[in-house]
Amino acid sequence: MLCNPHKIVKDFISKTSLYDSIRPLRLCGLCFFLILTTACSGTPPPPNRSGLQAATPIPTLNIGNQSALCEAIDANWGRDWPLIIDSLESLVQMRSDNTACDPAFSLSTRLYAAYLTYGTLLEQRNRPDEAAAAYAAALEYNFNGREANLRLQSLQVATPLPAASCDAEIVQQALASMSPYTLDTTGSYVQVEGNGFVLDGQPFPIYGINYYPRDYPGERFLTQMDTDTLDYELDLMRASGINTLRIFLRHADLFICPGNGAIPVTAAFARLDGLISAASQRGYKLILVLNVDADLVEFPLYAAPEFVNDQMAFIASRYSIESTIMAYDLRSGGDADYANNIAFRREDVLNWLLQAAAIVRQNAPQQLITAAWQDEAEVTAKRPLIIPSRCFAKRQIAQGPMARIIATEFGTPATSPNVSSKSLSRPQV
């Protein structure tokens, strides 16, 4: 018998027997019950092993359909972590291949990242127990996961572990072996006037590149570089019209024993001294980028660890008399640290920027200070002492007072003269 509500009402009114009127209602109720039972039956949800509060699934999510789960993961990544975790766990329960959704799609890697990020979000919301459960769940998929281990440790240990220290003898030897910085040449400092730069009272148009020596990029720069090999590159770039180099400094290469403050590595500073000297002799100006590859987990940069402050002060003080150094860049791409990492708030990063600028200014009063942001360089202009600049890709020009700096990868033509990757090849010997 089909349920017809209109007929039921009509029968109820027209018939004298209450029992006869109720029978269709009873049949219709049974009809609705069967429909509801059928609609609600299906594949039971996977067990919740995370210890977290279960998310309310969206009505259209089919936890038994691999394609639907993959689509839900892609559509909600970064927006709904409980839903993403449920979808990923469902794929695991289905015994899906580790690359079920895509050849490059690792379920274990995605689950680790999802639990880690969700745990960070819960921690920010002052829900430490749930955050700890999320970090523990992340470690089930990567038991060596450094970030999850450290964050779980921070929730379980009242006092964080101190930075590594060295014996007093090692510290004394390191400090005693450092010679004071001496000038090879003297000159004037670059200054800001209006919306541009001036040097000795004249406009100073900047043609610059991000620079690592060809044979010593990244970590090899200050740990292995032979400064005697720089002449060819520096001469070629200078002859091509380049007048400014942006140099990247990894504090981990320049200092040891962070628990003791700023303890310099003599050999690393000797290499940096040599590069500055070679650049000075050719009339370059330098922008030194600080805090490259900074620690954002164990001793987060934006928590302003004391040893990081000491290291910035050491660098700025050592080179304060060097007019070849045009500016200190406090952090390259710092806005990505709060745009892509929910562990840091925008205001935390910007407040740290102000504090770091004060430290550098106190120790290097003559040189400029900047911060290379990727997308919103204008926010740094609201911080006193800081000239806004933009961290950008090849050939994209900065805005504001840094507008004349042309940032290119080494070997990519700048707007001024003819530099090409071919011309930067060393001559055959």
Pairing of strands 325-332, 263-264: unpaired
C-alpha to C-alpha distances, 199 to 162, 187, 324, nearest whole angstrom: 45, 10, 11
Examine the domain organization and report whether 138 and 207 are in the same domain: no
Task: Quote the pLDDT of residue 290.
Answer: 97
**Average pLDDT, rounded, for the chain:** 78
Token pair in block for residue 225: 């570089």
Can you tell me the distance from the alpha carbon of 275 to that of 325, in angstroms, rounded to the nearest whole number? 11
Statement to judge: residues 200 and 76 lie in one domain: no
Using alpha carbons only, give the angle 275, 276, 277 rounded to the nearest 5 degrees.
Answer: 90
3-state secondary structure 322-388: CCCEEEEEEEECCHHHHHCCCCCCHHHHHHHHHHHHHHHHHHCCCCEEEEEECCCHHHHHHCCCCEE
Q: Which pLDDT score is estimated for 60?
A: 57
**103 & 173 share domain:** no
Residue 292 confidence (pLDDT) above 90: yes
Domain limits at 109?
66-156
Residue 253 burial (10 A CB sphere; 0-12, 13-18, 19+)? buried
User: Is 196 found in the same domain as 335?
Assistant: yes
**Domain boundary, last residue among 125, 156, 187:** 156
My answer on whether 122 and 242 are in the same domain is no
Pair 220, 358 in one domain: yes
Using one digit for the tens of pLDDT, what is the confidence trace for 410-425?
Answer: 333 333 333 333 333 3
Q: Is residue 56 part of a domain?
A: no
CA atoms within 13 Å, Cβ hemisphere of 423: 15
Residue with more model confidence, 388 or 89: 89
Q: What's the pLDDT at 61?
A: 64
Residue 336 lies in a domain: yes
Q: Do 227 and 140 touch, CB atoms closer than 8 A? A: no
Same domain, 183 and 292: yes
In a domain, 128, yes or no: yes
The model's pTM is 0.61
**What average pLDDT does range 312-316 have in this prediction?**
98
Q: Considering the domain boundaries, does residue 187 fall inside one?
A: yes
Pairing, β 368-373 against β 387-390: parallel
> Do 172 and 280 belong to one domain?
yes
Whether 27 contacts 1, CB under 8 Å: yes
Query: How many domains, in total, are found in the chain?
Result: 3
> What would the pLDDT profile of 42-62 be if each residue is shown by its tens digit?
556 666 665 555 555 554 567
CATH at 348 = 3.20.20.80
Same domain, 233 and 287: yes
Residue 285's closest CA among 194, 404, 413, 395?
Answer: 404
- Last-in-domain residue among 105, 135, 156: 156
Alpha-carbon distances, residue 411 vs 212, 249, 314, 420 (angstroms): 11, 20, 32, 5
Return the bridge partners of 371, or none: 388
d(CA 174, CA 43): 66
State residue 47's pLDDT score. Answer: 63
